[in-house]
Amino acid sequence: MVLFGFSKEKATELMLKVHNEGKATVSSGTREEMERDVQRLHEYGLWATLQRDNEL
Amino acid sequence: MSAFRRSDDGVIRALFTSQESHVLINLTEQLLELLGEGASQISHESDPFLHLVGFGANELPPDDPVLRRLLPNAYDDPEASAEFRRYTEHGLREKKRAHALTIYEALLPQDEEWNADNPIERGSIEIEIKEIETMDWLSGINDLRLALAVRLGIEKSDGSTQQRYELMKESDPMKAVYAVYNWLGSIQQSLIEAQ
């Protein structure tokens, strides 16, 4: 699966962040772009949500 | 099950026992059925445009917790979530069904006398996964594993789950489900290592 083009190291780091902290930010951009990313992540069975930056 | 091995032609192969194959056929059948349930029927008459572009009409998250995990909310906000679901849930269900179908069709025996109610022992079965089907397999097996995790009440991997199931009596049917859950994980690992 190549979705965001992360290196193996970066992907592993994000995976461990999800594993240990429950979530990680993997992508940011316009609402349209993020909805598309979330859609793709759901296809892979990943529990993705999106939110406005100022809510972080 | 033997480990998946990739040959020079890009095809990934493994040997499954007929029992393992039956378990996986059964699980994919159940997943296909579940993904079909509660899918909004797109009526040709009611809205030809929606029918044409494949949008469903579901706005609320599914009742079944497994479906809620496989087709999750995209927003914390229910209103934004409902709108997203309306435009994407149908397509997501179709994608997931297609992944499960790839697995199902690879496992389904070709011989005519075979039927699911009366399986004939066939010893071990060679499973062939073409390069183009690998992502379908990985996604589909992952969906099955997530579905079992929800049914088993697994939310974290802190070792408490393993302990809970190890202490269970052999006669407890959930112990067998947990074994299948672990097996699905080893299929995923073997597939990734073979890639």
> For the segment A2-55, what is each residue's pLDDT rounded down to a tens digit?
789 999 999 999 999 998 999 999 999 999 999 999 999 999 999 999 998 875
State the best of A49, A52, A53, A56 to mutate against chain B, taking most chain B CBs within 10 Å. Answer: A49
* B140 closest CA partner among B79, B95, B194, B83: B95
What mean pLDDT do residues B152-164 have? 82
pLDDT at B41: 56
Please report where in the chains the tokens 């759901």 appear, as a residue: A42
CA distance B19 to chain A (A): 26
Residue B33: CB atoms within 10 A of its CB come to 11
User: Which chain A residues contact residue B84 at CB under 8 A?
Assistant: 35, 38
User: Which chain B residues contact residue A39 at CB under 8 A?
Assistant: 74, 88, 91-92
Enter the ipTM: 0.87
- Is the whole-model pTM more than 0.90? no
Q: Distance of CA B86 to CAs B39, B43, B64, B67, B119, Å?
A: 11, 15, 18, 15, 41
Please report where in the chains the tokens 């429950």 appear, as a residue: A22
3-state DSSP assignment of residue B180:
helix
Q: Strands of B124-129's sheet, edge to edge?
A: B5-6, B12-17, B124-129
For B73-120, how does the pLDDT look when each residue is reduced to its tens digit (9 = 90+)? 999 999 999 999 999 999 999 999 999 999 999 998 766 555 556 555
State the best of B55, B71, B75 to mutate against chain A, taking most chain A CBs within 10 Å. Answer: B75
H helix count then E strand count, chain B: 7, 3
For B23-79, how does the pLDDT look when each residue is reduced to its tens digit (9 = 90+)? 999 999 999 999 987 776 555 455 666 656 666 668 888 889 999 999 999 999 999
With an 8 Å Cβ cutoff, the interface of chain B facing chain A consists of: 69-76, 84, 88, 91-92, 95-96, 135, 138-139, 142-143, 146, 157
CA distance A54 to chain B (A): 14
For residue A3, the 8-state DSSP code is S
Closest-CA residue of B relative to A21 is B156
